[in-house]
């Protein structure tokens, strides 16, 4: 769980700390520190941290958990993801990267179904980041601290890159999409879930402004609250996919019947303010060649 990884071409060393490969330079990591400090504070205050027993139940936490309604919604996209993976794998384990994996609940769920999975995140926090994985589950998959805009993998290696509620944190959507496409094998797929997509930049900006105002009110700081613009506009994602050589397909998941809106709005709390006006389809971008 300790030691050093060396770059085969330049010889530079990267430490392995508590089983997590640190594949980001200290200078690059420094740039994310304001975001990480703010993010940890908000996540703890909003009640997102879970104990190891609850971690294993995700995305089906006990009904009295904070954000239980949101997790119910997430469980539906998770089930759809499993169906898509089953279809792609046809019984064979897939090589999957969980991008922006957070506490790795999804990485674990995929690994225990036999897939070869790697979790990547900038956050190694012991309560909510890569370090939050219970000890007896940590051997089931690899963990890498790196930035999603600069993926430390060779080209054409992976069957699937899954990004659950994380790609909207990218500082540069086009660069992140190109990186994802680069590490996919031809025919492999990027799959986005629980990722708020807006039809217009104005709608995305309005949602982010609401969230920042909320964070100013409750936490006294805002600017570092997202690592990127904090929203994705559909046409920009489509464009990024096309330029990266990925197809683009949306699988609708969550209808928003009127009767449900009020209930979801109350259950989401400040998370709702981020996603208001957004759709969260499963997005599948297949590498064409
Ligand atoms: C809302 S959380 C989602 C976590 C997890 N995928 C889930 O479904 O619960 C977003 C994650 O993206 C990570 N993240 C944000 N910016 C990042 C970046 N530039 N590179 C890598 N990870 C990043 C955060 O640290 C956080 O863990």
Residues 88, 80: Cα–Cα separation, whole Å: 12
Comparing 1 with 217, the larger pLDDT belongs to 217
The alpha carbon of 75 is separated from its chain's Cα centroid by a whole number of angstroms, namely: 15
The alpha carbon of 237 is separated from its chain's Cα centroid by a whole number of angstroms, namely: 16
Task: Of 32, 31, 38, 30, give the one whose Cα is nearest residue 221.
Answer: 38
Residue 163 CA, ligand 1 centroid: distance in Å? 9
Express each pLDDT in 192-231 by its tens digit. 999 999 999 999 989 888 888 888 888 776 555 555 678 8
Crossing angle (nearest 10°) for helices 68-89 and 258-268: 110
Express each pLDDT in 128-186 by its tens digit. 999 999 999 999 999 999 999 999 999 999 999 999 999 999 989 999 999 999 999 99
Q: Kindly list the protein residues whose Cβ atom lies closer than 6 A to any atom of ligand 1.
A: 100-102, 106, 121-123, 147-149, 164-166, 169, 227
Residue 259 CA, ligand 1 centroid: distance in Å? 31
The pLDDT score that the predictor gives to residue 3 is 86
Residues with Cβ within 8 Å of residue 118, at least 6 apart in sequence: 96, 97, 98, 107, 141, 142, 143, 144
Residue 167 CA, ligand 1 centroid: distance in Å? 8
Does the pLDDT of residue 95 top 90, yes or no?
Answer: yes
Express each pLDDT in 61-85 by its tens digit. 999 988 999 999 999 999 999 999 9
The pLDDT score that the predictor gives to residue 286 is 98
Note whether 49 and 65 are within 8 A (CB). Answer: no
Q: Which atom of ligand 1 is nearest to the CA of 32?
A: 19
pTM for the model: 0.91
The pLDDT score that the predictor gives to residue 4 is 87
Burial 97-113 (b: 16+ CB within 10 A, else e): bbbbbbbbbbbbbbbee
Does the pLDDT of residue 256 top 60, yes or no?
Answer: no
End-to-end CA distance of the chain: 37
Which amino acid residue places its CA nearest to atom 12 of ligand 1? 100
Task: Of 132, 135, 92, give the one whose Cα is nearest residue 115.
Answer: 92
Residues 141, 133: Cα–Cα separation, whole Å: 10
Note whether 102 and 123 are within 8 A (CB). Answer: yes
Residues 14, 178: Cα–Cα separation, whole Å: 24
Instruction: Kindly state the DSSP code that residue 287 receives in the 8-state scheme.
Output: B
Residues 64, 79: Cα–Cα separation, whole Å: 22
């Amino acid at each position: 769980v300790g030691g050093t990884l060396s770059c085969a071409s330049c010889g530079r060393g990267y430490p392995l700390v508590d089983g997590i490969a640190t594949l980001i330079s200290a200078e690059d990591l420094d740039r994310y520190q304001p975001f990480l400090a703010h993010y940890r504070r908000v996540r703890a205050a909003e009640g997102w941290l879970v104990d190891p027993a609850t971690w294993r139940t995700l995305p089906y936490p006990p009904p009295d958990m904070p954000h239980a309604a949101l997790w119910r919604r997430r469980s539906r996209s998770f089930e759809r993801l499993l169906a898509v993976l089953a279809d792609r794998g046809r019984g064979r384990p897939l090589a999957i990267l969980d991008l922006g994996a957070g506490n790795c609940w999804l990485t674990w769920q995929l690994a225990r179904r036999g897939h070869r999975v790697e979790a990547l995140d900038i956050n190694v926090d012991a309560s909510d980041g890569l370090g939050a994985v219970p000890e007896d589950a940590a051997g089931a998959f690899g963990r890498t601290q790196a930035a999603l805009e600069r993926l430390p993998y060779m080209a054409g290696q992976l069957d699937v890159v899954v990004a659950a509620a994380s790609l909207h944190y990218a500082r540069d959507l086009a660069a992140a999409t190109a990186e994802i496409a680069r590490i996919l094998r031809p025919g492999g797929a990027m799959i986005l879930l629980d990722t708020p997509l807006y039809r217009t930049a104005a709608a995305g900006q309005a949602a982010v402004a609401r969230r920042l105002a909320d964070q100013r009110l409750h936490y006294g700081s805002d600017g570092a609250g997202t690592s990127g613009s904090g929203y994705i506009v559909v046409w920009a994602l489509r464009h990024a996919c096309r330029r990266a050589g990925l197809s683009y397909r949306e699988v609708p998941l969550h209808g928003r019947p009127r009767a449900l809106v009020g209930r979801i709005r109350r259950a989401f709390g400040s998370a709702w303010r981020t996603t208001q006006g957004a759709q969260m389809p499963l997005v599948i971008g297949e590498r064409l060649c």
